[in-house]
């Protein structure tokens, strides 16, 4: 069944398999998460999904009452669901019709839904690199560093056209903000699961800094096994 969970990136390390091969892995601490809301195709939402919450909001006690840095509509979401403590992060996961009844509001989600060897997609916010040129941002080659080139070594070249259409097309690769965007890495393998500490060891790298928020869910485009080579 489609599934997903929220967590935070811990960092990278390396492990060795049974044959002694070094495998780079990213450690992600996931959950525990809670189901905040269910959406149904037969209801007002028109589709099947669950809203999952992660990481409780810090509170301040004023005159014996807990106060949160949330407005009334945000607090109302948790009050309607019967939660005493609001959650800091909310994410929505779409479901098939037959899987909606497997979840209930208030249910806790953890690593039990996943198994080692499973293929997943990981979504996070990539590290921001600031304002960057075309060579760093888009891997341009730059201009020739030879006779006649004057202060044009790292430029992108011509961006315009002739009289028709006489404008710069939308989406033209140019200097600008590099990184700090929502990024998804597909088809990462769960190498190992530490269920006692709610840790995933994902083979490969994951976007974002250590401590950054990540969403792990079923792979949208599962890798196929390579075809057997005929002799």
pTM of the model: 0.82
Q: Return the percentage of the chain with pLDDT > 70, whole number.
A: 95
Please, are residues 14 and 24 in contact by the beta-carbon 8 Å criterion?
Answer: yes
Task: Quick: pLDDT tens for 127-186.
Answer: 999 999 999 999 999 988 888 888 889 999 888 878 888 888 999 999 999 999 999 999
β-partners of residue 7 are 30, 214
CA 209 centroid distance within chain: 12
Q: Is residue 68 domain-resident? A: yes
153 and 210 share one domain: no
106 and 139 share one domain: no
10 and 114 share one domain: yes
Number of domains observed in the structure of the chain: 2
Q: Is residue 61 domain-resident? A: yes
117 and 141 share one domain: no
Q: DSSP letters along 147-175, please?
A: TT--S-TT--------TTT-SPPTT---S
Q: Is residue 224 domain-resident? A: no
Q: Is the pLDDT of residue 1 over 70?
A: no
Q: Is the pLDDT of residue 228 over 60?
A: no
185 and 100 share one domain: yes
73 and 156 share one domain: no
- The per-residue pLDDT for 230 is 45
- The per-residue pLDDT for 97 is 86
Residue 76 domain boundaries: 4-131+173-218
Confidence of residue 50 (pLDDT cuts 50, 70, 90): very high
219-231: average pLDDT:
60
Q: Is residue 76 domain-resident? A: yes
CA separation for the pair 90, 21 (Å, rounded)? 38
Please, are residues 75 and 66 in contact by the beta-carbon 8 Å criterion?
Answer: no
Distances (CA, A) of 153 to 121, 144, 175, 193, 209: 38, 6, 14, 48, 32
137 and 199 share one domain: no
CATH of the domain at 35: 2.40.30.10
Task: Quick: pLDDT tens for 89-136.
Answer: 999 999 888 888 889 998 889 898 899 999 999 999 999 999 999 999
Q: Is residue 18 domain-resident? A: yes
145 and 157 share one domain: yes
């Amino acid at each position: 069944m489609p599934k997903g969970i929220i967590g935070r990136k811990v960092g990278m390390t390396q492990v060795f398999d049974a044959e002694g091969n070094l495998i780079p892995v990213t450690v992600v601490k996931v959950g525990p998460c809670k189901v905040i809301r269910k959406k149904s195709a037969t209801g007002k939402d028109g589709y099947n999904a669950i809203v999952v919450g992660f990481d409780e909001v810090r509170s301040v006690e004023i005159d014996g009452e807990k106060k949160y840095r949330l407005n009334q509509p945000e607090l109302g979401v948790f009050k309607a669901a019967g939660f005493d403590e609001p959650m800091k992060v909310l994410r929505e996961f779409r479901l098939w019709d037959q899987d909606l009844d497997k979840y209930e509001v208030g249910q806790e989600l953890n690593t039990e839904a996943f198994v080692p060897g499973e293929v997943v997609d990981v979504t996070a916010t990539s590290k921001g690199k600031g304002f960057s040129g075309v060579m760093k941002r888009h891997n341009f080659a730059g201009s020739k560093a030879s006779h006649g080139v004057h202060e044009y070594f790292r430029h992108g070249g011509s961006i315009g056209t002739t009289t028709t259409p006489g404008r710069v097309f939308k989406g033209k690769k140019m200097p600008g903000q590099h990184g700090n965007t929502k990024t998804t890495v597909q088809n990462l393998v769960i190498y190992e699961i530490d269920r006692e500490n709610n840790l995933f060891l994902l083979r490969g790298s994951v976007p974002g800094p250590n401590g950054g928020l990540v969403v792990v869910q079923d792979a949208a485009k599962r890798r196929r096994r390579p075809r057997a080579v005929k002799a």
